[in-house]
């Protein structure tokens, strides 16, 4: 059996939202994708796959070892190369927490495979500095591979300071837009008023929605503060999709402030469950950390309002660059007053912001675009591999 056409994707684990993208990548690679990954370190509804998801790719289960929570990771990948000793390309997750990564890349090159790293390539928890040990490690791994598939344009631009830009490819991080866009078309046919009625939402309310973990970093307290201000002069509803340690505190604040129409919906990991509520909303409000929720929101035509990063920290995920201030949402100053202003501006011109959000998603955030970026990086690495082997 020939194994030279295989592309091995090696990662710590595969989040639930990534499975449709990998299915599409497998399709683009003519069924030659092999996903090699273990289980996540904790039972998160965001990270763990659900039984309704079909994996169309081959999977090799690896055993993960985590230390100090999930700060240090190691996995034994030897069995992968025993099964597929001559893969075309190894596509590896960019993770400085994985101490097995440099050994994986060394083994891949020794076996004649092209090497691609895929990820964010910096930390949102600290200012970017190539002198920081973790960032130094990341950049060292970048220099060891044939190509990098970057989550966003800003990530690609940042890496271009350290490696040849021809080795950098944009694989815009996103969600399963095939499903998102199809759901939006269904919702449009049904109509927002009808959807609100079946969800028990007042059809005339200004509807704010929040999606994410209920933790301080997401701005849960500021969310309730801004909703209180909106509700002071407007009939409004707040939909909270997510779970986490701040849930009980948020419920207590709702009671203390005598807020009305705040609905805690819990974690809704399936698009079929969460998307009707998001589509029914007028604006997505995430005061704190923004990541793929921007793609989720824009894919359904809902503008997003958040606050800028504190100090010199990157803070947000790179996906926040999709929020074009004043066009498909707002990135406000770090005050509740500024956040409120952004929310009210969207509410005042809801249809315009909605249209801009969806058009941006159609143009820039498609899963097809992400997959094409990955394929381009894989093909580039494969070409360089063949050139190197020819010289040898």
Whether residue 220 is predicted with pLDDT greater than 70 in this model: the reply is yes
Whether residue 391 is predicted with pLDDT greater than 70 in this model: the reply is no
For residues 124 and 273, membership in a common domain is answered with: no
Average pLDDT value for residue range 276-295: 98
For residues 198 and 232, membership in a common domain is answered with: yes
Closest CA to 226 of 217, 216, 236: 236
pLDDT band at 392, cuts 50/70/90? very low
Whether residue 230 is predicted with pLDDT greater than 90 in this model: the reply is yes
Structure tokens given for 3: 């194994």
- Domain contains 2: no
What is the residue whose two structure tokens read 């631009």? 157
For residues 143 and 194, membership in a common domain is answered with: no
Phi, psi of 163 (to 5 degrees): -140, 165
Residue 1, pLDDT score? 34
- Domain contains 343: yes
For residues 160 and 235, membership in a common domain is answered with: no
What is the percent of the chain where pLDDT is above 90?
91
342-369 pLDDT per residue, tens: 999 999 999 999 999 999 999 999 999 9
Q: Name the least confident of 18-22, 128-132, 211-215.
A: 128-132
User: Whole-model pTM above 0.85?
Assistant: yes
What is the residue whose two structure tokens read 């890496």? 159
Average pLDDT, the chain: 94
**Cα gap 143→117, rounded to integer Å:** 10
Residue 306, pLDDT score? 98
For residues 356 and 373, membership in a common domain is answered with: no
Beta pairing, strands 168-170 & 147-150: parallel
For residues 267 and 277, membership in a common domain is answered with: yes
Closest CA to 374 of 9, 6, 100: 9
Whether residue 387 is predicted with pLDDT greater than 80 in this model: the reply is no
b/e per residue 30-62 (b: at least 16 CB within 10 A):
eebbbbbbbbbeeeeeebebeeeeeeebbebeb
- Domain contains 45: yes
For residues 334 and 186, membership in a common domain is answered with: yes
For 104, the domain range is 7-173+366-391
pLDDT band at 311, cuts 50/70/90? confident
**Cα gap 6→20, rounded to integer Å:** 19
DSSP 318: G
149-203 pLDDT per residue, tens: 999 999 999 999 999 999 999 999 999 999 999 999 999 999 999 999 999 999 9
Residue 386, pLDDT score? 73
235-266 pLDDT per residue, tens: 999 999 999 999 999 999 999 999 999 999 99
22-57 pLDDT per residue, tens: 999 999 999 999 999 999 987 554 555 566 689 999
For residues 83 and 215, membership in a common domain is answered with: no
- Domain contains 1: no
For residues 148 and 225, membership in a common domain is answered with: no
Residue 2, pLDDT score? 41
For residues 203 and 350, membership in a common domain is answered with: yes
For residues 124 and 204, membership in a common domain is answered with: no
For residues 226 and 264, membership in a common domain is answered with: yes
Query: Which CATH number characterizes residue 54's domain?
Result: 3.40.50.2000
- Domain contains 30: yes
Quick one: angle between helices 336-348 and 220-231, nearest 10? 60
**Cα gap 302→286, rounded to integer Å:** 12
How many residues belong to the chain? Answer: 392
Total tally of structural domains belonging to the chain: 2
372-382 pLDDT per residue, tens: 999 999 999 99
pLDDT band at 212, cuts 50/70/90? very high
Average pLDDT value for residue range 214-237: 98
């Amino acid at each position: 059996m020939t194994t030279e056409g295989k592309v091995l994707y090696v990662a710590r684990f595969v989040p639930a939202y990534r499975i449709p993208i990998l299915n599409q990548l497998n399709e683009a690679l003519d069924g030659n994708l092999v996903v090699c990954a273990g289980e996540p370190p904790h039972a998160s509804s965001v990270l763990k796959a659900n039984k309704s998801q079909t994996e169309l790719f081959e999977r090799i289960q690896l055993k993960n070892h985590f230390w100090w929570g999930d700060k240090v990771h190691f996995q034994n990948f030897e069995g992968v190369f025993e099964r597929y000793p001559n893969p075309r390309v190894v596509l590896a997750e960019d993770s400085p927490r994985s101490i097995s990564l440099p050994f994986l890349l060394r083994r891949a090159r020794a076996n004649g495979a092209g090497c691609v790293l895929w990820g964010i390539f910096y930390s949102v928890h600290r200012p970017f500095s190539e002198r920081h040990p973790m960032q130094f490690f990341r950049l060292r791994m970048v220099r060891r591979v044939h190509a990098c598939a970057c989550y966003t344009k800003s990530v690609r631009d940042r890496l271009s300071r350290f490696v040849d830009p021809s080795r950098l490819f944009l694989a815009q991080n996103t969600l399963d837009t095939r499903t998102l866009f199809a759901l939006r078309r269904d919702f449009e046919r049904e109509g927002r008023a009808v959807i609100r009625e079946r969800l028990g939402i007042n059809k005339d309310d200004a509807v704010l929605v929040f999606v994410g973990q209920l933790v301080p970093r997401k701005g849960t307290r500021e969310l309730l503060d801004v909703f209180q201000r909106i509700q002071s002069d407007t009939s409004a509803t707040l939909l909270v999709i997510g779970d986490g340690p701040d849930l009980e505190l948020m419920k207590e604040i709702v009671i203390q402030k005598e807020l009305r129409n705040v609905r805690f919906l819990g974690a809704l990991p399936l698009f079929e469950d969460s998307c009707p509520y998001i589509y029914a909303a007028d604006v997505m409000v995430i005061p704190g950390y923004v990541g793929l929720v921007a793609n989720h929101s824009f894919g359904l035509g809902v503008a997003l309002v958040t606050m800028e990063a504190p100090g010199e920290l990157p803070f947000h995920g790179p996906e926040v660059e999709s929020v074009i201030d004043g066009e498909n949402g707002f990135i406000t100053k770090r005050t509740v007053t500024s956040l409120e202003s952004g929310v009210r501006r969207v509410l005042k011109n809801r249809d315009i912001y909605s249209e801009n959000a969806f058009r941006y998603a159609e143009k820039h955030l498609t899963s097809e675009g992400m997959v094409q970026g990955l394929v381009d990086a894989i093909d580039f690495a494969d070409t360089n591999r063949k050139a190197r082997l020819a010289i040898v």
